[in-house]
Amino acid sequence: MIRHLVRQDCGSCHGLTLKGGLGSPLTAEALAGRPDEALLATILNGRPGTAMPPWRPFLTEEEAKWVIQWLKDGAPE
Ligand code: HEC
């Protein structure tokens, strides 16, 4: 369910394979070593001044943390 949301909704900007598009790549390599807290803030609050929208209305903090871990694991099926 969340996997589907990420591939469809996040993929529209970050690329269907999450390798980047309008948005930066969200691959395991791209996110390796990035602090979870910073990624969590970006996902929940968006990045003002960029196309990255806030997802707080659609994702709980727990779900966003799950997404970060899943992306860092290479977005397995
Ligand atoms: C409308 C386009 C758009 C959508 C939809 C979108 N993003 Fe983004 N996202 C961006 C852009 C553009 C950036 C780069 C912002 C910048 O320049 O700092 C970004 C940045 C990010 C970053 C920071 C990456 C880094 O290397 O710092 C993360 C994490 C992220 N997005 C996750 C997501 C997730 C998860 C979703 C879906 C729930 C999503 N994005 C949906 C456009 C989008």
pLDDT at 77 over 90: no
Contact 15, 22 (CB under 8 A): no
Mutate-to-test residue for ligand 1 from 4, 9, 42, highest number of ligand atoms within 8 A of CB = 42
Task: Burial-class residue 69 by CB neighbours within 10 Å (0-12, 13-18, 19+).
Answer: exposed
pLDDT at 73 over 80: yes
- Please report the pLDDT score of residue 1 as a whole number: 77
Atom 37 of ligand 1: nearest residue by CA position: 10
pLDDT in tens, 27-37: 999 999 999 99
Domain locations in the chain as residue ranges: 2-72
The predicted model scores a pTM of: 0.96
- Quick check: CB of 9 below 6 Å from ligand 1? yes
pLDDT in tens, 1-26: 789 999 999 999 999 999 999 999 99
Q: Up-side HSE of residue 24: CA atoms within 13 Å toward CB?
A: 11
Q: Structurally, what CATH architecture does the domain formed by 2-72 represent?
A: Orthogonal Bundle (1.10)
